[in-house]
Amino acid sequence: MTDTTKDNTEHIPAPEPDFAARTGGVVTVDGVAYGFLEPDGLAENVVAKNADALTMKDVARWMAHCVRRIGDEVVVTDDDDATAAIDALTERLYALPSYDRAELAVGIRNKGLSPRVHVATACRYSGCNGTAEAEVVLDDLDKTPPNRTNPVAVEGVGDVEFFPEAGTIEDFLMGATDEDVLRRRVKLVAGRPAVNIDRWPSRLRRPIWEALQAFDGDPGTTLSAPCNKCKKANPIWLFSQADFFGLPRV
């Protein structure tokens, strides 16, 4: 028998999906919690426009499009002048020590997109037209935390004080020689300016260099992958990879 009872239940339409909504998360770096939203098109555009010569300033701006809170401080809100707020946050993130900035970028990529990144580069060796590529799991990066003591007691040299490797110095020194790095990074040796440190004997420069590497730490963002033809190892900088930022692979 057919039920002819009228259904008086009011039809409530399903809510329209909010395609602009962004999920969020928290990355803690050196005891500081950074609340972020997943990367969006504006963040991707920062990288896409500068893909051929990406600097740490560009990476900092990519992060500034994502970070909304540092500790208890809200650094960008919907009411802000977006350009001014993101400009200010870019400079703040750019000024972080290199290890912390890399940790934050990797954390945002890991939690905001996915923990896996495809890396690839043309083989660097002359005469080889092969490709070095690999799949990287961000949780498995080979990291060495920095020694945050400054100055550092260096045996046979004395106390050495370093300038932190913040963005300005880091971008300046990309591709620089070891001597360039020492000139820019060593502030004082035994309480005195390190004048002409690039001319000092290697028995003094070598332990200072090793102390500098320990001071900076290694965030594990310089990777190595074998070429598919010559099989030689090729270095690959994680932040040079389109896939890291969620962009299509080229």
- pLDDT by residue (tens digit) across 139-173? 999 999 999 899 999 999 999 999 887 655 565 66
- Put the strands of the sheet holding 24-29 in their side by side order: 24-29, 32-37, 67-70, 73-74
Q: Given a cut of 70, is residue 96 above it in pLDDT?
A: yes
Q: Given a cut of 70, is residue 14 above it in pLDDT?
A: no
Share of the chain above pLDDT 90, in %: 59
Residues, the chain, total? 250
pTM of the model: 0.83
Average pLDDT of span 6-34: 74
Question: What is d(CA 90, CA 84) in angstroms, rounded to the nearest whole number?
Answer: 10
Q: Given a cut of 80, is residue 98 above it in pLDDT?
A: yes
